[in-house]
Amino acid sequence: SQPETDGKQEGLFTTANDGLNQPVRRHAITDAGLQHFLSAYPGEAIGKEDVFYYVYGMLHSQDYRNRYADNLGKELPRIPRVKAAADFWAFSRAGRALADLHLNYESAPLYPATVSGGSQPEDYRVEKMKYGKDKDKTTLIYNSKITVTGIPLAAYEYVVNGKPALDWVVERQCVKADKDSGIVNDANNWAIDTMNNPKYPLELFLRMITVSLETMKIVRAFPSLSIAE
């Protein structure tokens, strides 16, 4: 990582002057921000990455969200310091694991739900997914040929921007025309032309089940929130 400078601001991927045309990595954590945490845990070898992942972990804490709910609805999040160094590291390690999980969601294992139907590439064309009868979320009707059953309800507990991550997949992996422009957003084009995989929308849903379950497993293991004075 390169140290921050006080001079002219440069782009996020400004190249280094080393003749190798390599991007310079820049931290979003300031020196003052790092010192704020170092002062709370004397003797701990804490780096800026550790603080970054601590923040990412903290933002997933339900205790944190509940305690600061009023503030979070009105202003930028303020990240408290926990009392114990052990809890700092617990949140930091969890945040690192969550970040890896969320960044690499497209390579997460396919959840072993029961997929009925589908044998030819054209069978995986999606128009609009929907849940089962009476909005049964243990069942996904992918299209007229393919149905997914055995979806664990616990997977819907992972919420992103007020909505389960799985609902986002269902809503976005479809064929939809913009009302104003008439431009058609076709998830099948991305699946075939970019991902070279007509099963991509279905597999994304199955992968997101895994991501959601693993996310909640990590979140439930957070220590209780004990804030330093």
Average pLDDT value over all residues in the chain = 90
**Mean pLDDT within 74-87:** 91
Question: Over 80: is that where the pLDDT of 175 sits?
Answer: yes
- What does the pLDDT read at residue 6? 44
- What does the pLDDT read at residue 19? 54
- Tens of pLDDT, residues 7-49: 444 444 444 555 566 777 777 899 999 999 999 999 999 999 9
Cα separation of 151 and 160, whole Å? 18
- What does the pLDDT read at residue 20? 63
Collect all residues with Cβ–Cβ distance below 8 Å to 68 and sequence separation of at least 6.
77, 78
What burial letters (b/e) apply to 203-229, b meaning 16+ CB within 10 Å?
Answer: bbbbbbbbbbbbbbebbeebbebeeee
- Tens of pLDDT, residues 110-126: 999 999 999 999 999 99
For residue 221, CA distances in Å to 15, 46, 48, 87, 217 come to: 40, 22, 23, 11, 7
- What does the pLDDT read at residue 40? 95
Which structure tokens are listed for 134? 């009476």
- What does the pLDDT read at residue 179? 85
Collect all residues with Cβ–Cβ distance below 8 Å to 184 and sequence separation of at least 6.
175, 176, 177, 178
116 strand-pairing partners: 147
